Every structure is written in structure tokens, then in C-alpha cells.
């Protein structure tokens, strides 16, 4: 695979966004003062289902009168094309930089899992919406006059369309088309699909591990045998089983929040299981991994305040008096004697003496 400009050289440990240069055709009329160039934009994703690797959202955009160029290039649903054809189409997207622009949001497995595993989960649909909105906003902020947006839907098309439009109240002129299989219907969405899919494939194929890798899990080419990354792939399931650490879990390529991964922690341990892992961590006796408790939010104070409500009235809560410590109790007992020694009196009904 040729170098993909949207893929970073360093290990993927956090999400990032990459934008191409804005095409000259999208801004040339702005520079001459003859008005803005109406443009169309498409949105699609790649890697929503796998338990391994990033989820990548892509957008592609071009002047509205350049739509025929997209059809002639042959942009279509990336999943229906071979890897070789997808690479050719990405090269075409890059070569036509004067007419077409594109961008991707690469969502790392760590960030996906961190959101989904909160006490109040930021689920995958919400994260997908965030990625879509940020990419569209990035193109608008670059000065592109987007007048039509085509989106491959997440869930119900009508609901998703209303959600996306709510993020852009100042752009009421934009015509939104949110539908299923948009990448097979609209070439601009097909171009976005190519950008997302090729970026994700390049991330997976060139994955850089920052963790120790077991040589026994590599294939004949020396690559780690992860399989396709889908939960139903036996090679992927084998990879998850054989690389699971009961304390640390997996390498950063794994989405810990997927049911396929979470359930492995609770699977019964084999009788002949080693007491320790290759990292030196202690294994549990009955399961493959230890249960995880997520503490990402502050502890709620439940006993610090008490109510002093009276009959027929509601009063503000008052601060509960803390229980005196042993030292405080001893001081209270000796307080009278201390005051006498210092020639002081307490404040009582008589007032200060």
C-alpha cells in the first residue's frame, strides 16, 4: 500500500483529525470577489463493527458543478470494491486536489472504549455524531460554502438528520440528505467512504505497537495474526484469548468496550492456567481476568448534609456536625478549667463577661 497522507507515523494512542488543502475550485471565485462557490459534501465511516482498530469518519467535498467528475472517476461504496481499487480511487482523490478536498477523523480504540465504559456512557452513536459534526465544521471554518450535505445515516435517517442540523443553526441554507446506503447512491459519499476505508486499512496494516508482542502470535509474514478484526472471525477471537492479560487487558489496538472483549474477563479459567502472565501479573483463580470497576466520576456526597425540615415547611439543609474526635472530646472536658486559668468566661445567657 502506498503512503496514505491521513495516517500518522507514530503509534495511534489518541484520536486525531486530518484535513487536505482546500481545493482552489472551492475558493477561486471568493478571491476574485464574484461570489462564493456552492459546494457539496459527503460523509461516511469505516470500521464501525470490528473489535480491533480505529473507527474512521471521512468527508469529501467539491464544487456542485463538478459532480460529473466524481461519476467519471468511479467513486462508490468502498466495501463493494477490492483493496486495489480503493487505493486507486484514493490516489485519484489526491490527484484531483484542485477540484476535491477531503478529511478524516481517526477515532482511536482507547478513546472509543473510554467513552463507552463511563458510568454514564458516551455511546458509539454519540461519538459518531461528534466526529461527523467536527469534520463538517472544519470544512465550513475553512471558508468552503457548503450548500448540500449527503450523509450515510446512523440509526433512523429522519432523527439523525434533525440531530445534525441542530448543530448548525447559522447554516439554514444547507440542504441535508441523510439516508441508508448513501455511499452507493451519491458519488460524493462514495468518495468519503474511500477516504475513511483506506485510512483505516492503512492504520491496521501498519499498526505500531507500543506494547510487548508475543512472537508466537505472528504469521508467516511476521505480522501479528489478528484476523479481520470482526468479533465473528475465529482468528480475531484467538488473538483476543491469547493476548489477554488479567490486569492490563490487551494492546491498544483492541476496543475494550466491545461485548466480545468484556465477556472474556468473565470466562472460566482453565485448570492448567499458569499462576502468572508473561508480564509477571497474578492471574485470578476462577476467571481469565479480574472484574473492572470504573470510577470516572466524583463520589456523591450522601451523608455530609442532613435535612432539618419541620412540619408544613421546607427548610434548607444544614451542615451536619462532625463527630468529635478523641482529642476534641478531651479538650472539651478541660475547656472550663482552661478558661479559668486564663481568666476567661464562656459566652452564655449572661453575655460576654
> Does 255 lie in the same domain as 183?
no
Tens-place pLDDT, residues 258-283:
988 888 888 888 877 777 776 677 77
Per DSSP, the three-state class of 124 is helix
pLDDT of residue 350: 42
Which residue range forms the structural domain that includes residue 242?
Answer: 213-291
Residue 330 to residues 21, 60, 326, 327, 333, Cα–Cα distance (Å): 75, 75, 6, 5, 5
pLDDT of residue 343: 54
DSSP string computed for 244-302? -BTTTBS-TTB-TTSHHHHHHHTSBPPTT--SB-TT-PBPPSSBSS-------SPPP-S
> Does 271 lie in the same domain as 144?
no
Is there a binding annotation on residue 296? no
**Do the strands 16-19 and 55-63 form a parallel or antiparallel pair, or are they unpaired?**
unpaired
> Does 143 lie in the same domain as 53?
yes
The strand pairing partners of 319, in sequence order, are 305
Most confident of 53-62, 179-188, 236-245, 285-294: 53-62
> Does 54 lie in the same domain as 191?
yes
> Does 229 lie in the same domain as 81?
no
Rounded CA Rg of the chain: 30
Instruction: Centre a 10 Å sphere on the Cβ of residue 121 and count the other Cβ atoms it contains.
Output: 13
pLDDT of residue 277: 72
Tens-place pLDDT, residues 300-312:
555 545 554 455 5
> Does 162 lie in the same domain as 36?
yes
pLDDT of residue 225: 77
pLDDT of residue 219: 60
Strands (E) located in the chain = 16-19, 38-46, 55-63, 101-107, 145-152, 175-179, 305-306, 318-319
Q: What is the mean pLDDT of residues 16-26?
A: 95
Least confident of 237-246, 258-267, 279-288: 279-288
Q: Shortest CA distance to 60 belongs to which of 169, 183, 215, 212?
A: 183
Name the DSSP class of 59. Answer: E
Instruction: Centre a 10 Å sphere on the Cβ of residue 145 and count the other Cβ atoms it contains.
Output: 20
Q: What percent of the chain has pLDDT over 90?
A: 49
pLDDT averaged over the chain? 82
CA torsion through residues 202, 57, 229, 275, sign? positive
Q: What are phi and psi of 40, to 5 degrees?
A: -110, 150
Task: Quote the pTM value.
Answer: 0.78
pLDDT of residue 287: 84
> Does 168 lie in the same domain as 22?
yes
Q: What is the mean pLDDT of residues 56-67?
A: 94
> How far apart, in whole angstroms, are the C-alpha atoms of residue 232 and residue 225?
15
Is there a binding annotation on residue 44? yes
106 in a domain, yes or no?
yes
The packing angle between helices 157-166 and 124-141, to 10°, is: 50
Q: Shortest CA distance to 65 belongs to which of 25, 18, 15, 118?
A: 25
If one counts the domains in the chain, the total is 2
Where b means 16+ CB within 10 Å and e means fewer, 81-119 reads beeeebbebbebbbebeebbbbbbbbbbbbbbbbbbbee
Q: What is the mean pLDDT of residues 48-57?
A: 96
Q: CATH code at 47?
A: 3.30.420.10
> How far apart, in whole angstroms, are the C-alpha atoms of residue 144 and residue 132?
16
The strand pairing partners of 56, in sequence order, are 46, 106
Is there a binding annotation on residue 148? no
> Does 172 lie in the same domain as 73?
yes
183 in a domain, yes or no?
yes
> How far apart, in whole angstroms, are the C-alpha atoms of residue 27 and residue 8?
28
pLDDT reading at 177 higher than 60: yes
> Does 172 lie in the same domain as 72?
yes
Is 146 or 267 the better-scoring residue by pLDDT?
146
Amino acid at each position: 500500500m502506498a503512503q496514505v497522507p491521513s495516517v500518522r507515523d507514530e503509534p495511534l494512542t489518541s484520536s486525531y483529525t486530518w484535513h487536505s488543502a482546500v481545493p482552489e475550485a472551492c475558493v477561486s471565485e471568493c478571491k476574485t470577489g464574484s461570489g462564493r462557490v456552492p459546494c457539496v459534501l459527503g460523509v461516511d465511516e469505516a470500521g464501525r463493527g470490528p473489535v480491533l482498530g480505529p473507527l474512521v469518519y471521512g468527508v469529501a467535498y467539491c464544487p456542485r458543478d463538478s459532480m460529473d467528475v466524481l461519476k467519471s472517476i468511479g467513486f462508490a461504496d468502498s466495501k463493494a470494491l477490492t483493496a486495489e481499487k480503493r487505493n486507486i480511487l484514493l490516489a485519484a482523490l489526491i490527484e484531483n486536489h484542485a477540484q476535491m478536498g477531503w478529511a478524516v477523523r481517526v477515532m482511536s480504540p482507547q478513546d472509543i472504549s473510554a467513552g463507552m465504559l463511563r458510568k454514564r456512557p458516551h455511546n458509539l452513536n454519540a461519538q459518531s455524531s461528534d466526529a461527523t459534526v467536527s469534520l463538517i465544521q472544519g470544512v465550513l471554518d475553512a471558508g468552503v460554502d457548503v450548500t448540500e450535505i449527503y450523509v450515510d445515516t446512523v440509526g433512523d435517517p429522519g432523527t439523525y438528520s434533525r440531530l445534525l442540523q441542530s448543530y448548525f443553526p447559522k447554516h439554514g441554507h444547507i440542504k441535508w440528505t441523510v439516508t441508508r446506503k448513501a455511499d452507493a447512491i451519491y458519488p460524493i459519499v462514495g468518495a468519503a467512504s474511500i477516504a475513511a476505508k483506506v485510512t483505516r486499512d492503512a492504520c491496521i496494516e501498519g499498526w505500531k505497537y507500543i506494547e510487548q508482542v508475543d512472537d508466537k502470535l505472528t504469521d508467516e509474514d511476521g505480522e501479528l495474526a489478528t484476523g479481520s478484526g470482526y468479533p465473528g472471525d475465529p482468528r480475531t477471537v484467538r488473538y483476543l484469548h491469547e493476548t489477554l492479560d488479567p490486569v492490563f487487558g490487551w494492546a491498544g489496538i483492541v476496543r475494550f468496550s466491545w461485548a466480545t472483549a468484556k465477556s472474556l474477563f468473565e470466562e472460566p479459567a482453565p485448570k492448567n492456567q499458569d499462576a502468572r502472565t508473561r508480564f509477571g501479573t497474578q492471574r485470578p483463580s476462577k476467571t481469565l481476568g479480574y472484574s473492572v470497576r470504573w470510577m470516572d466520576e466524583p463520589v456523591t456526597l450522601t451523608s455530609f448534609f442532613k435535612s432539618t425540615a419541620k412540619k408544613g415547611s421546607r427548610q434548607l439543609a444544614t451542615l451536619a456536625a462532625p463527630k468529635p474526635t478523641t482529642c476534641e472530646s478531651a479538650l472539651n472536658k478541660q475547656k472550663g478549667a482552661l478558661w479559668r486559668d486564663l481568666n476567661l468566661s464562656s459566652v452564655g445567657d449572661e453575655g460576654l463577661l
